[in-house]
Structure 1
Amino acid sequence: MMLGPFLLPIALRVGLPVIGVAMAMNLFGHGIALSGDFIIQGAPKLTSSAAGVTVRQVMRASVPLVITAGVIATGLGYWMLRRDMKRGKLTSVPQGGEVTQDKDVKLSAKIAAILVPLVFLATIVATITLGLKGDDATALIGGVSFLLFIVIAFLEYRHQAPQVVMTYVQEGFTFSMKIFAPVIPIAGFFFMGSPDVAPQILGKGAPGYLFDLDKALAAHVPLSMATVAIIIVLVGIIAGLDGSGFSGLVLVGTLAQALGTPVGANVAMLAALGQLGSIYSGGGTLVPWGVLDVAGVTGVNPEELTRRNFLPVMAGLAGATVVAIVLM
């Protein structure tokens, strides 16, 4: 979202419709980057802990799936944009009118335009060099972001900066609680389905009810790697419909272990596939309330954006499912 205001005028100037900019931010940012989450590793950490495998196993298994889904989704999305542009259905003019260039740009804006990309590039290099993962990587990026926020606020607002900073911090915490609050009860509920975690919640000797249900289901319904893979990705998509892709990771991880073990499937591959479904859906590509940040930056209608994303994302997930079945 930070790069959106910088890239939007450039994209419009070269003829890309504003809806295309929003799609690119969704598919590359909320899709390819977030579904793999190879730098911070927050998503694979949640998925792997529920699936009973390591973070490295989930990340390794997700590489071909992320590539497949990303290539298909972005390729199909680009083709659809080109098709509609040729038909005259889309233009490069934003909803607010023609693009204008403000010649009187403030010094603080010029400094921020240079400082922010350089600092975040250095942060990425530091994260990889120091081997930071999970909470450590998240803490570094969050701390750097907050320091940049304070510095830019003082450059822009001078003596009013403390008040401005606190106002935006309050708004940020409110927004984050709305998004991530469902993770806590959902995670606790589905962790009770795992025989490894259930005793920690319900007490010693507690059964993993989800695994018991799976054994009963496996005894009556013939399961195969293909059907299990399809179930996992569909559950991930449905779980992400609340607008928080992370809230479904525990569910798909637990199901991957529960359904994959009886059929001898690669649990890490199943978990990675479910992770893709949940992140692509709730991470900000398939539901209008999940794309509000991108829609707000670009000024497009969130419902129109999700309609544009639907076919490319579903085609990408279908391709990733086929690849997962083949590799298992």
Structure 2
Amino acid sequence: MQTHLGAAHWIYLAGIIVILLTMALRKNIVVPAVMATFLTAWVFSGSVITGLSSIFNASLVAAHELFNIFLIIALVTAMLGALREMGADRLMVTPFRRVMRAGTSSFVMLALITYVISLFFWPTPAVPLVGAVLIPVAIRAGLSPLSVGMVIAIAGQGMALSSDYIIKVAPGISATAAGVDTDSVADKALVLSLIVGFTALVITYLTQRRTWRAPSPELLVAWENKADKFGVTASDDGTPDGGEPAPAAGGAAAPVPPAARAAAGGVGAPTATIVRDTSAAEPDSSPKPLAAKAFAILVPAAYLVFIVYLLLGKFTAAVPPLKGGDAAGIVGGIAAMILFAACLTNSRRACLEASSQHVVDGLVFAFKAMGIVLPIAGFFFIGNGDFSARILGMPEDATGPALLFDLINAGLSHVAPNAFVVAFTVMFVGVIAGLEGSGFSGLPLTGSLSGALGSAAGMDPSTLAAIGQMGNIWSGGGTLVAWSSLVAVAGFARVPVLTLARKCFLPVMAGLVLSTLFAIIAF
């Protein structure tokens, strides 16, 4: 069946091309996305008023679909802020230092701890936690700083964030754009992320092992003396300029370069963290080591129980199974209860004010990290028939145009698509979209493409969405793009960020190719 393409279709296609080119040029894509939304709506409706209102409606529709994601980010970030005040965040990883006595054991433990922390809380706390507590131990055990940076980036920003299996932000965006179930995308993304991650880690181990040295305290001293070599600056009190203290082994500080803080707190950096100003904390709050130890045990235990419940519901009939939204809600609920308990422990008199302040901090971070997604998702939603009617202000019972689907069908009428070509196309589109450096902004594009291409190529759209998610997050989430949050990893490891990105390229791309082949064959 021949699909008729009108002027709005060509405007929409031009918008996609401009956005991809803007990403390739390492520029922000919010303005191109908004202008493309305006022009597409104007040309389709013939009304400049509809075009103007679509700018607002597109972001509003995107916010309506994605606000649950913003809320879970805010609650988890708020909880981490309260734990940071009492020092429980560092205590959660301190016991693992005892087994990091040689290069191989340090390599494995760095990857494992970074992955687990990033999977439950995003890479947000993983970099400062591992940087302050475990990186100095790994350096002393003989690992090279470049090896340390590669392991943290691959395990955290790559393997954990690309599946996002616990919080399910990324699968939620991909599934919404593709019109499929979130759990289906999440399950497949988890498998693919493990394939990419294990492949990249094995290649890293084999290529970097020759750079490791025998364990020695002198290695740590030499590494600490490089604090200022790559633009790392510290204030007189030993803390990073404008940041919070990051104690390392032996009382040394682990400073962060200003660029790393910019990447961590800047717009479009979903793996970033917000550092709450503890100087404004209530004056009666003092260190409580016993409470910190208790919460360092309580938090992992609470989420471990949740994971066990999740697995029982998925694989047995012992408990009711949880859907994607239910799981995210429980994660947020646990985070909120721990937040309140931690604030009460920190200060009984100011617990109400501290709790609300942490929630505000979490919401600010959520919109800093994810706000850029709204206008971008709004543009791709206008090409999706499920959302375009609302964006264009059409009646509730009206059927909106499926611009992207029409374009794909028109293109496929001239080419016989097959799973191999389509899968690798979606993966490489994800990699290109990740060049923007935010990690999540390309997910509406790869998700929409997956929903449109899946049936024509004989593949499950959820599989294609997971493949596109791999390409997008492994690229822009902080492994291949030097202007992403990879800067923070390089800052803590004290290596040049361009060198780190270049060294990660071969292991990560090899993993992406292997995982895509696996998805074509197995899914």
Paired residues of 2:377 and 2:441 also in contact (CA < 8 A): yes
Q: Following the alignment from structure 1 to structure 2, what is the Cα–Cα distance between the partners of residues 39 and 174?
A: 22
Q: 1:270 aligns with which of 464, 471, 478?
A: 464
TM-score (norm 1): 0.82
Alpha-carbon deviations, 1:29-77, whole Å to 9, x = none?
Answer: 1222121122112211111111121122112323432222111111111
Paired residues of 1:30 and 1:283 also in contact (CA < 8 A): yes
In the alignment, what sits opposite 1:279?
473
Q: 1:37 aligns with which of 139, 149, 164?
A: 164
* Mapping for residues 90-105 of structure 1, pairs under 5 Å: 92-93=219-220, 95-97=223-225, 101-102=250-251
Task: Work out whether 1:60 is the aligned partner of 2:209.
Answer: no
Q: Following the alignment from structure 2 to structure 1, what is the Cα–Cα distance between the partners of residues 410 and 165?
A: 36
Q: CA RMSD in A?
A: 3.3
Unaligned runs of 5+ in 1: none
Alignment CA distance shift 1:182-1:102 (3 Å): closer
Q: CA deviation at 1:258?
A: 0.8
Alignment CA distance shift 1:133-1:213 (3 Å): closer
Q: Which amino acid aligns with 1:118?
A: I
Secondary structure of 2:417 counterpart: coil
Alignment CA distance shift 1:171-1:57 (3 Å): closer
Q: Following the alignment from structure 2 to structure 1, what is the Cα–Cα distance between the partners of residues 477 and 346?
A: 29
Paired residues of 1:17 and 1:92 also in contact (CA < 8 A): no
Q: Following the alignment from structure 2 to structure 1, what is the Cα–Cα distance between the partners of residues 219 and 509?
A: 26
* Mapping for residues 171-320 of structure 1, pairs under 5 Å: 177-202=367-392, 203=394, 204-288=398-482, 289-320=484-515
Per mean C-alpha deviation after superposition, the further-off stretch among 132-141 and 277-286 is 132-141
Alpha-carbon deviations, 1:182-230, whole Å to 9, x = none?
Answer: 2001111111222222223223322111001001110123321111111
Q: Following the alignment from structure 1 to structure 2, what is the Cα–Cα distance between the partners of residues 188 and 37?
A: 22
Per mean C-alpha deviation after superposition, the further-off stretch among 58-67 and 257-266 is 58-67
Q: Following the alignment from structure 2 to structure 1, what is the Cα–Cα distance between the partners of residues 156 and 497?
A: 16
Alpha-carbon deviations, 1:237-295, whole Å to 9, x = none?
Answer: 12122222222222111101111221221211111111111111122111122313323
Q: CA deviation at 1:145?
A: 7.5
Alignment CA distance shift 1:100-1:279 (3 Å): closer
Q: Following the alignment from structure 2 to structure 1, what is the Cα–Cα distance between the partners of residues 508 and 493?
A: 20
**How many percent identity over aligned positions?**
36
In the alignment, what sits opposite 2:229?
none
In the alignment, what sits opposite 1:125?
304
Alignment CA distance shift 1:132-1:264 (3 Å): closer
Q: 1:8 aligns with which of 132, 135, 140?
A: 135
Paired residues of 1:18 and 1:92 also in contact (CA < 8 A): no
Q: Following the alignment from structure 1 to structure 2, what is the Cα–Cα distance between the partners of residues 185 and 149?
A: 36
Q: Following the alignment from structure 1 to structure 2, what is the Cα–Cα distance between the partners of residues 144 and 297?
A: 31
TM-score (norm 2): 0.53
Paired residues of 1:287 and 1:306 also in contact (CA < 8 A): yes
Q: Following the alignment from structure 1 to structure 2, what is the Cα–Cα distance between the partners of residues 11 and 152?
A: 33
Q: 1:136 aligns with which of 329, 352, 356?
A: 329
Q: Which amino acid aligns with 1:271?
A: A
Q: CA deviation at 1:147?
A: 5.5
Kindly name which structure, 1 or 2, has the bigger radius of gyration based on alpha carbons. Answer: 2
Unaligned runs of 5+ in 2: 1-124, 227-247, 253-285, 311-321
Q: Following the alignment from structure 1 to structure 2, what is the Cα–Cα distance between the partners of residues 15 and 238?
A: 36
Q: Following the alignment from structure 2 to structure 1, what is the Cα–Cα distance between the partners of residues 191 and 518?
A: 8
Q: Following the alignment from structure 2 to structure 1, what is the Cα–Cα distance between the partners of residues 487 and 288?
A: 24
**RCO comparison, higher one (Cα < 8 Å, 6+):** 1
The structure where helix makes up a greater share of residues is 1
Q: Following the alignment from structure 1 to structure 2, what is the Cα–Cα distance between the partners of residues 139 and 100?
A: 33
Alignment CA distance shift 1:287-1:218 (3 Å): same
Per mean C-alpha deviation after superposition, the further-off stretch among 133-142 and 180-189 is 133-142
In the alignment, what sits opposite 2:206?
79
Q: Following the alignment from structure 1 to structure 2, what is the Cα–Cα distance between the partners of residues 38 and 177?
A: 21
